[in-house]
């Protein structure tokens, strides 16, 4: 590699890390979430953020999108939403007597689907199909989606009435399942200070610092990050353990449905991006370990007995990670 292209790659990384630092000043205690949003963006992954109301789920995605020079759309899910509201639809043009396609919000680079569990199943499945296929077919015509394309969906696990839980099989299309939880009192104080200071300075919109070239170049650089046989085997051990195989396999007694191979593919891609963001051109087992819970937990269904005992998917993956040797 010549010096110039090496320098460009370092610039791309620096731009992204600077934007991440800037976001972390606006999103208190959300560094892990910010890192995962960038990893997903750079690897073609999608993110599901779960948590109670008022924990900056929507704000995180809004601010993240604002830091990138890419098209952004927000879909507020309601029970009367129709698939065509997100995919787009053929509209009759009176003057020409023909139909022309009006693109829906899914044709943007970053799409925030807020409160996704309040959207009816047909809308959810249109969204999940677009996420996996990266194209939308209406009236027999397929249209490619934008590049990059990233869905960030949020849901609130508290409200059950009038909600449609995402089907387990379709959740598999997300790369990350991120839980946001209640802040402790120190964090709460920092949130308060941050928001009040922002209000005092009235509506300063953060500048976007990342353009699409930076994203495309970074994505290419990440593909070339080295993933050794030993680390590949570690990924496979973790995923196999959810199926009851190998060391760590006994930790899976609570699992009803295990991770699909998407789990290991996403884990590998995300670990490469994590390594690259940290300035390395090779993946360590620690890259994998640090992302394992947020990638694997949401893919597991637990035994009813385990659920009744209050065991969570994250508990199970935490135990698997602890029991699985890294080398």
Ligand X SMILES: Nc1ncnc2c1ncn2[C@@H]1O[C@H](COP(=O)(O)OP(=O)(O)OP(=O)(O)O)[C@@H](O)[C@H]1O
Q: Which is nearer to Mg ion, 58 or 214 (CB)?
A: 58
Nearer to ligand X, 134 or 190 (CB): 190
* Signed CA dihedral, 53, 57, 62, 63: sign only: positive
3-state SS of 164-210 is CCCCHHHHCCCCEEEECCCCCHHHHHHHHHHHHHHHHCCCCCCCCCE
71 interacts with, out of ligand X, Mg ion, none, CB within 5 to 8 A per kind: none
Question: Which does residue 152 touch among ligand X, Mg ion, none (CB within 5 to 8 A, set by kind)?
Answer: none
Tell me the residue length of the chain: 327
Q: Binding ligand X by CB under 6 A: which of 9, 57, 237, 272?
A: 57
Residue 291 binds ligand X (CB under 6 A): no
Specify which residues 101 forms β-bridges with.
90
Pick the piece of the chain touching ligand X (CB under 6 A) from 26-34, 35-43, 236-244, 299-307.
Answer: 26-34
- Which among ligand X, Mg ion, none contacts residue 236 (Cβ within 5 to 8 A by kind)? none
- Find the shortest distance in angstroms from Cβ 236 to ligand X: 35
Pairing of strands 47-50, 72-76: unpaired
Quickly tell me which residue has 């047909």 as its tokens.
122
Residue 58 contacts Mg ion per CB under 5 A:
yes
Q: Considering beta carbons, is residue 68 or 221 the nearer one to ligand X?
A: 68
Contacts of 184 (CB under 8 A, 6+ apart): none
143 binds, among ligand X, Mg ion, none (CB under 5 to 8 A by kind): none
Rounded to a whole number of angstroms, the minimum distance from the CB of residue 15 to ligand X is: 23
- Give me the 127-166 binding string for ligand X, x by CB under 6 A, dash otherwise: -----------------------------x----------
Taking the least distance from each CB to ligand X, the nearer of 194 and 303 is 194
Q: What's the Cα-to-Cα distance from 315 to each of 140, 180, 296, 309, rounded to whole Å? A: 45, 15, 11, 12
Q: Which stretch binds Mg ion (CB under 5 A): 52-60, 127-135, 203-211, 280-288?
A: 52-60
d(CA 124, CA 111): 13
> Under the criterion CB under 6 A, does residue 53 sit at the interface with ligand X?
yes
Q: CA end-to-end span of the chain, whole Å?
A: 31
43 binding Mg ion? (CB under 5 A) = no
Q: Which of 18, 31, 54, 93 binds ligand X (CB under 6 A)?
A: 54
- C-alpha dist (Å) from residue 309 to 27, 254, 305, 313: 34, 10, 6, 12
Helix, coil or strand: residue 70: coil
300 binds, among Mg ion, ligand X, none (CB under 5 to 8 A by kind): none
The nearest distance, CB 54 to Mg ion, in angstroms, is 8
Question: What phi, psi does 204 have (nearest 5°)?
Answer: -80, 115
String marking each residue 267-286 x if it binds ligand X according to CB under 6 A: --------------------
156 binds, among Mg ion, ligand X, none (CB under 5 to 8 A by kind): ligand X
- Taking the C-alpha atoms of residue 41 and residue 218, their distance in angstroms, rounded to an integer, is 10
DSSP for 38-66? HHHHHHT--EEEE--TTSSHHHHHHHHHH
SS3 content of the chain, % helix, strand, coil (to 5): 50, 15, 30
Least distance in Å: CB of 154 to ligand X? Answer: 6
Q: Name which of residues 174 to 203 contact ligand X (CB under 6 A).
A: 191, 194-195
Q: Which one of residues 55, 75, 210, 283 is an interface residue with ligand X (CB under 6 A)?
A: 55
**Rounded Cα gap, residues 276 and 218, in angstroms:** 9
Which parts of this chain interact with ligand X (CB under 6 A)?
A: 27-30, 53-59, 156, 191, 194-195
Which parts of this chain interact with Mg ion (CB under 5 A)?
A: 58
């Amino acid at each position: 590699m010549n010096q110039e292209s090496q320098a460009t790659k370092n610039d791309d990384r620096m731009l992204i890390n600077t934007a991440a630092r800037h976001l972390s000043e606006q999103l208190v205690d959300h560094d892990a979430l910010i890192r995962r949003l960038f990893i997903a963006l750079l690897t073609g992954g999608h993110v599901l953020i779960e948590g109670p109301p008022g924990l900056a789920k929507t704000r995180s995605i809004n601010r993240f999108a604002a830091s990138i020079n890419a098209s952004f759309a927000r879909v507020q899910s309601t029970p009367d939403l129709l698939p065509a509201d997100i995919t787009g639809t053929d509209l009759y043009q009176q003057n020409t007597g023909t139909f022309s396609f009006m693109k829906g919000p899914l044709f943007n680079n970053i799409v925030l689907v807020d409160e996704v569990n309040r959207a009816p199943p047909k809308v959810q499945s249109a969204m999940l199909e677009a996420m996996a296929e990266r194209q939308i077919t209406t009236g027999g015509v397929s249209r490619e989606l934008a590049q990059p394309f990233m869905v960030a969906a949020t849901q609130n696990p508290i409200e059950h009435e009038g909600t449609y839980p995402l089907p387990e099989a379709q959740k598999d299309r997300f790369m990350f399942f991120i839980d946001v939880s209640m802040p402790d009192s120190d964090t709460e104080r920092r949130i308060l200070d941050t928001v009040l200071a922002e209000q005092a300075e009235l509506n300063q919109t953060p500048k976007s610092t990342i353009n699409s070239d930076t994203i495309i170049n970074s994505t290419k650089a990440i593909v070339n990050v080295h993933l050794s046989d030993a680390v590949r085997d570690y990924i496979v051990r973790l995923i196999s353990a959810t199926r009851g195989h190998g060391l760590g396999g006994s930790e899976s007694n609570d699992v009803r449905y295990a991770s699909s191979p998407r789990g290991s593919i996403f884990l590998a891609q995300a670990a490469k991006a994590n390594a690259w963001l940290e300035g390395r051109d090779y993946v360590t087992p620690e890259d994998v370990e640090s992302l394992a819970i947020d990638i694997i937990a949401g893919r597991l269904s637990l035994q009813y007995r385990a659920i009744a005992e209050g065991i969570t998917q994250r508990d199970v993956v935490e135990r698997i990670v602890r029991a699985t040797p890294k080398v």
